[in-house]
Amino acid sequence: MDADLTALNGLIEKLRPRLHRYCARMVGSAFDGEDVVQEALANAASAWSATIESPESWLFRIAHNAALDALRRRKRLSAFEADAELAAFADPAAIADARVSVETSLAALQALTPVERASVVLADVLGYANEEAAQILSISVAAVKAAIHRGRKRLHDAPPASATPASYSLEERDRLRAYADRFNARDFDALRDLLAEDVRLDLVNRRQLSSKKDVAIYFTRYSEIPDWRVNVGLAEGFPVLLFSNVADPSHVRFVVRIGWRGGRIAGIRDFHYAQYVMDSLPVSVL
């Protein structure tokens, strides 16, 4: 690997959890946020040069643009406010009790405009100075201050966000429970038998595989590590597998989503190597 790619990979390893925290809050979903991060990193890889100034801001700017693209694709974005001519506000970041907590609710942030959301997340969640946020967003410092001021006020005044409605069938829940029972019994051959011939595996932040033959080794890896116990839960309204260490069963370390087709496993999305996603993903046991 040449020096340029080594530098980029080091930057990605350092920033990926922070990039996910940002993108998840921009698009309102920890799962979709990871998709945006992957898109942003692919774009960064094709444009990377060791001569880039302020590489951290550069990478966040790419992630920001990828998040806006995702919002446009979902038809949620009406217009991105440039805010270039707004009058400067006294910096509310200097007043501790002016901050609004945005750590626990992705849904609440979706009521803000994209520039308000981006500015508040960069300042209050990730701790960037206004000047750094302005560089990332390609707007003025005055515009960032204004967006933070408006965004915090709107979050403070907004009613509590309602929970994401559950979106699953009893059949899907029962399939996941059967999966969890087989996993906990270490009956991995039974799980292999459930794989569709064209099954796809996304081992997030590590690799992607397709076909029953190639994905079968996925269970071999888990069979070699007896430390995991699986439960069935909800995350963002979807049924998921909750993975905990047997020594600490109440602490969910990561989740796995399973896609089904005709009673067979058509897709597996495993966040074992992307446990930073849990920072933005409240879960509950079904």
| pLDDT (0 to 100) of residue 225 | 87
How far apart (Å, rounded) are the C-alpha atoms in residues 202 and 271? 8
Q: Under CATH, which architecture does the 170-285 domain have?
A: Roll (3.10)
- pTM strictly above 0.85: no
pLDDT at position 76: 46
Quote the CA–CA distance of 208 and 214 in Å, as a whole number. 10
Question: Among 179, 192, 195, 185, which Cα is nearest to 241's?
Answer: 179
Is-contact 240 283, C-beta < 8 A? yes
The contacts of residue 47 (CB under 8 Å, 6+ apart) are 62
| Residue ranges covered by each domain of the chain | 3-157, 170-285
Return the SS3 of 25.
helix
Contacts for 44 with CB less than 8 Å, ≥ 6 apart: 8, 12, 58, 59, 62
pLDDT tens-place values along the chain, 286 residues long:
466 778 888 999 999 999 999 999 999 999 999 999 999 999 999 888 878 889 999 999 999 999 999 998 876 444 444 443 333 333 433 333 345 554 447 888 988 999 999 999 999 999 999 999 999 999 999 999 999 999 999 988 877 766 666 767 889 899 999 999 999 999 999 999 999 999 999 999 999 999 999 999 999 999 998 899 999 999 998 999 999 999 998 999 999 999 999 999 999 999 999 999 999 999 999 8
Distance, CA of 77 to CA of 114 (rounded, Å):
8
Residue 277: which of 10, 35, 101 has the closest Cα?
Answer: 35
Question: In a 3-state reduction of DSSP, which class is residue 189?
Answer: helix
- Residues 6 or more apart whose CB falls under 8 angstroms from that of 267 comprise 199, 200, 201, 202, 257, 258, 259
Q: How far is CA 159 from CA 108, 154, 162, 284, in A?
A: 9, 10, 9, 23
State residue 53's pLDDT score.
Answer: 87
Listed residue (267, 264, 223, 242) closest to 180, CA to CA? 242
Task: Specify the CATH number of the domain 3-157.
Answer: 1.20.140.160
pLDDT at 52: 87
In the prediction, which pLDDT does 75 show? Answer: 62
- Residue 270 one-letter amino acid: D
Token couple for 180? 């969890």
What is each CA distance from 43 to 60, 70, 196, 235, 272, in whole angstroms?
12, 14, 32, 28, 24
Q: What is the pLDDT of residue 95?
A: 34
- pLDDT for 86: 38
